[in-house]
Amino acid sequence: MQFRYNRYSGMPSASRIFRQINFNNFYQRHKQEGWLINLALVGTTAILVILPFLYLLAPECFVMAILLALLGIGVALPVLAFISLANIKIDGRGIEISRLGSLDERLYAWSELSRITFQEPNQLCLEFHRQQNLLLELNSISKLNLEAIISLALYYRPNVAIYPSEAITALGIKEKTLIDPLDFTELWQSNLDQRFTSTSFVPLEQGQRLQQCITVLAQVASGGMSAVYLAKHDQRGPVVLKEMVLSGARESEKFKKALELFEREAKLLTQISHPRIVKIFDYFVEDNRHYLLLEHIKGKTLRTFVEKHGALSERTIIEWGLQMAQILHYLHHLDSPIIHRDFTPDNVIISEDAKIRLIDFGASSMFIGTATGTVVGKIAYMPPEQTKGRANIASDIYAFGCIMYYLATSKNPMPYCENVLPISTGSTSIKSSNLLHLVNDCLKLDLKSRTIRTTEIITRLESMLSGGSAVNSVKR
């Protein structure tokens, strides 16, 4: 998250300034400008010293000196306001402030945050253990940015004290783990970068309202004619908003067909109810743009997890494989079966309860055969029939085998090749012959040879889990 901040943008009236003048407080609040404040102090002191002598030695110049001093103040205040303009960037490390009037960039780390206080008359004070306090003028922060700052502080420092506590309720923040834009960037960014190309598409702005109940908090990914936003729903709290702009003339048959498919798919997806599939709350059209409103899930993608931890243990592969198979089984056995067609490590996450969750139906098809002639997904996880635009249920089975291969080896399978999960080596910990045979059955390139289905996969994986030590091992 990033925004501009100027403490002078909400200047109080002159009468209020004189009633509340406190030079020491002013200096403490504005000393980040360092040299500028010191220069102002030296200049003010020099003028105060010179004025009495000027009145005695040259009374005719005294009035002129006063006018010049007032003119100097009139010029200095706008200059001070401009130089104090700051850029505030908030990420997983903390709050980083860079100012035009200061050569350095200062980072206030979340790990050092000890207390948040709303002070009178109109200040937000963030206290840190080994750093000076950070004071922000509330007049200079929009309510949306203020909510985001507090939400992020509570996410990274859930036990931080806030005074007064009523401020949380006043801001409409109901829980301490609202948003984590970094997770969303990991979930969506690589997906969109690979799926779309650059166009003149203009995403929504921060703070924009949709349907009179959805506020855009931040854009987390964008590409082509699509974007993903972190948003806040007035009733649901944090949500994910996926935006798509259909190309082509509105009167064309191609546009009408694309719109029909989007609406049919969106209606079906809103009816999906599975504990391990991201909930799609709603879909709507506004200003000729099409939107899906999705559940906000915290977690890491399988790709992110494997890149950090390497190949997984055999037990974990079996457990997570069973959960993925159950998800595909649910989709494939709906009244109108859904072929996901983009079942990859980028679209599967490990949620906070260490369970598998499936996200992103952007490449799915509502009915078997709907997508004939289309090619989507990531090439390493696509069987030959899908690259020719003939995806079917078996295509998701192949993608499932590819993910299992990736979990066991931490490497993507080779596209257009007959991938075989190797026997336990330095690159994999798989010892179970049952698991090897299962994965290799899913990775058959020939569609006629890939006869395994989710029911059989689930049965075999459950047998491996219940068998425990009885699971057959590969003979070396």
The class level of CATH for 299-470 reads mainly alpha
Nearest to 413 by CA among 325, 345, 357: 345
Specify the pLDDT at position 8: 43
Domain ranges of the chain: 1-8+23-178, 181-295, 299-470
Architecture label for domain 181-295: 2-Layer Sandwich (3.30)
Question: For the stretch 464-473, what's the b/e string if a residue is b when 16 or more beta carbons lie within 10 angstroms of its beta carbon?
Answer: beeeeeebee
Specify the pLDDT at position 191: 46
**Cα end-to-end span (Å), the chain:** 54
Mean pLDDT of 61-86: 66
pLDDT digits (tens, 9 = 90+) for 26-44: 444 444 445 555 666 677 7
Mean pLDDT of 310-324: 94
Q: What pairing do the DSSP bridges indicate for beta strands 209-210 and 299-301?
A: unpaired
Is 336's pLDDT higher than 80?
yes
CA separation for the pair 97, 84 (Å, rounded) = 11
Specify the pLDDT at position 383: 92
Specify the pLDDT at position 79: 61
Mean pLDDT of 183-200: 44
Mean pLDDT of 390-398: 94
What global pTM score does this model have? Answer: 0.57
Q: For residues 411 and 267, which has the higher predicted lDDT (pLDDT)?
A: 411
Q: Is the dihedral of CA 395, 400, 401, 406 positive or negative?
A: positive
Mean pLDDT of 247-259: 71
pLDDT band at 88 (very low <50, low <70, confident <90, very high): confident
CA separation for the pair 393, 47 (Å, rounded) = 83
CA separation for the pair 216, 425 (Å, rounded) = 48
Least confident of 72-81, 89-98, 121-130, 377-386: 72-81
How many percent of the chain have pLDDT more than 70? 66
Alpha helix positions (H), 344-432? 384-387, 393-409
Considering the chain, what is the average pLDDT of its residues? 75
CA separation for the pair 12, 18 (Å, rounded) = 10
Specify the pLDDT at position 467: 77
Same fold, 181-295 and 299-470: no
How many percent of the chain have pLDDT more than 90? 24
CA separation for the pair 206, 188 (Å, rounded) = 18
pLDDT band at 454 (very low <50, low <70, confident <90, very high): very high
Q: For residues 423 and 440, which has the higher predicted lDDT (pLDDT)?
A: 440
Least confident of 39-53, 182-196, 328-342: 182-196
Is 195's pLDDT higher than 60?
no
